[in-house]
Amino acid sequence: MELNSLQKELCTRANEHCVKLDPEPALCLFRLFPGITVEEWEDFSRRHDLKQWLTLPIDGDTYPHLKQVQETMERLSYQTDHDPLTGLANRRAFNRILDIEIERARRSGTSVSLAIIDLDDFKKVNDTYGHTKGDEVLVAFSRKVFQTTRRYDLAARLGGEEFALILSGTGLVKAKRVLSRLLEEFRAKTFEAPDGGIFKVTCSAGLTCYKGTVDMDVKQLLDLADEALYGAKENGKDQVMVSKIPDIDLVPQETLVQANEKQFLFGK
C-alpha cells in the first residue's frame, strides 16, 4: 500500500508513465523519480512517514543526499541504544557498557560501581493517575538521574520503572553519596494529579562495587545489585542498600581485618 501511494504521487509529479505494481509480495531495490528535488522528497517523506527511505543522486550535487544519509544513520544509531521515552541508554547499551567497564576494572584495578534503582509503588501511580502521568514521572526521574551523573557515567532505563547507573572509577562510599542525593532530591519533587492534587514518588536502590580483583561478568554484578535492591525494598523502601563486595573474599584472613573494615577499605 505504501509503495503504491508513493509511486502514484511521484509519478504524477514527474509526468512519468508508471507500471502498476504486482500485488504479490516483492522487494523493491531502486526506483528512478525524475524531476523530484531533495526538498520535495523531504517534505513528502515527512508527510508519509518514509524517513527510513534513503535517496541516491544520479547526477548533480551529491552533498544534500549524503547529508541526509548521515542524518538518517545517526538517528538510527541513537534509536538503537536509547530508550524512546526517557532518552537514557537502553538495556542493550547498558549491557555493552557494563561489560566494558568490568573488563577495564579487571585490567586496571580501578573501581566501578553499579546501582539498580526502582521507583517505589509505581503501579499505584499508573492505576491512580493514569499511564500518561506515569510517563511524566518516568521522564522527570530520568532527568534527575541525568543531572546527577557525570559525562562518562552511564544512566540507563532497563525497562518499566527500573533504572541503572554505571559509575566509572567510583568507589562504594562516593557512589552511595551520589545515590543518597538522588533519592533525596527526587523524594522532594512533587507531581500534580489530574484532579489538581499533589503526589510524590520515592525510589529504592541496590548498590554494588567491583575493583577487578576477582573474575566477574555482567550477570554476576547485576545479581549483586539486584539482591541489594531487593533488600532495600524489604527493609522499607526509599533507601540505598549496599551488596556484599565481591573483592573482599581475596583479602587474606591472616591480616585479621574485620569484615566491616574490609567493607570500608574496598569501598573507597
Tens-place pLDDT, residues 147-189: 888 888 999 999 999 999 999 999 999 999 999 999 999 999 9
Where on the phi/psi map is residue 121: left (φ > 0), alpha (ψ -120 to 50), or beta? Answer: left
Task: Tally the residues of the chain.
Answer: 268
Q: Which helix (H) or strand (E) holds 164?
A: strand 162-168
Is the dihedral angle over the CA atoms 163, 168, 172, 177 positive or is it negative? negative
Asked, for residue 190, whether it belongs to a domain, the answer is yes
Judge whether residue 47 has pLDDT over 60: yes
Give bridge partners of residue 116 from the DSSP assignment: 164, 206
CA angle 59, 61, 65 (to 5 degrees): 95
Measured CA to CA in angstroms, residue 60 lies from 38, 63, 65, 72 at distances of 11, 9, 10, 21
What is d(CA 67, CA 72) in angstroms, rounded to the nearest whole number? 9
Instruction: Determine the pLDDT at residue 148.
Output: 83
Instruction: Determine the pLDDT at residue 159.
Output: 92
Asked, for residue 52, whether it belongs to a domain, the answer is yes
Asked, for residue 114, whether it belongs to a domain, the answer is yes
In this structure, the answer to whether residues 178 and 198 fall within a common structural domain is yes
In this structure, the answer to whether residues 26 and 153 fall within a common structural domain is no
Instruction: Determine the pLDDT at residue 151.
Output: 83
Roughly what angle, to the nearest 10 degrees, separates helices 259-267 and 172-187?
80
Q: Which helix (H) or strand (E) holds 221?
A: helix 218-234
Instruction: Determine the pLDDT at residue 27.
Output: 53
Judge whether residue 261 has pLDDT over 80: no
Mean pLDDT of the chain: 81
Higher pLDDT, 44 or 189: 189
In this structure, the answer to whether residues 59 and 101 fall within a common structural domain is no
Instruction: Determine the pLDDT at residue 158.
Output: 95
Q: Which residues contact 50 (CB under 8 A, 6 or more apart)?
A: 2, 6, 44
> Is 227 part of the annotated catalytic residue set?
no
Q: Which residues contact 36 (CB under 8 A, 6 or more apart)?
A: 10, 13, 14
Which listed residue (16, 40, 74, 161) is catalytic? 161
Which of 40, 61, 81 is at the close of a domain? 81
**Overall average pLDDT of the 89-99 stretch:** 94
Range of the domain at 40: 2-81
Alpha helix segments (H runs only) across 48-130: 63-81, 91-108, 122-129
pLDDT band at residue 256, thresholds of 50, 70 and 90? very low
CATH code at 179?
3.30.70.270
Instruction: Determine the pLDDT at residue 17.
Output: 45
What is d(CA 76, CA 164) in angstroms, rounded to the nearest whole number? 23
In this structure, the answer to whether residues 76 and 121 fall within a common structural domain is no
92 is written with which cell numbers?
Answer: 542493550
Which of 31, 47, 81 is at the close of a domain? 81
For the chain, what is the domain count? 2
What is d(CA 78, CA 41) in angstroms, rounded to the nearest whole number? 23
- Using one digit for the tens of pLDDT, what is the confidence trace for 216-252? 999 999 999 999 999 999 999 999 999 987 766 544 4
In this structure, the answer to whether residues 111 and 20 fall within a common structural domain is no
In this structure, the answer to whether residues 71 and 97 fall within a common structural domain is no
Judge whether residue 5 has pLDDT over 50: yes
Instruction: Determine the pLDDT at residue 251.
Output: 47
In this structure, the answer to whether residues 63 and 170 fall within a common structural domain is no
In this structure, the answer to whether residues 103 and 221 fall within a common structural domain is yes
Which of 81, 111, 135 is at the close of a domain? 81
Instruction: Determine the pLDDT at residue 67.
Output: 65
- Type of residue found at 23: P
**Overall average pLDDT of the 94-115 stretch:** 94
Q: Is 18 helix (H, G, I), strand (E, B) or coil?
A: coil
In this structure, the answer to whether residues 145 and 222 fall within a common structural domain is yes
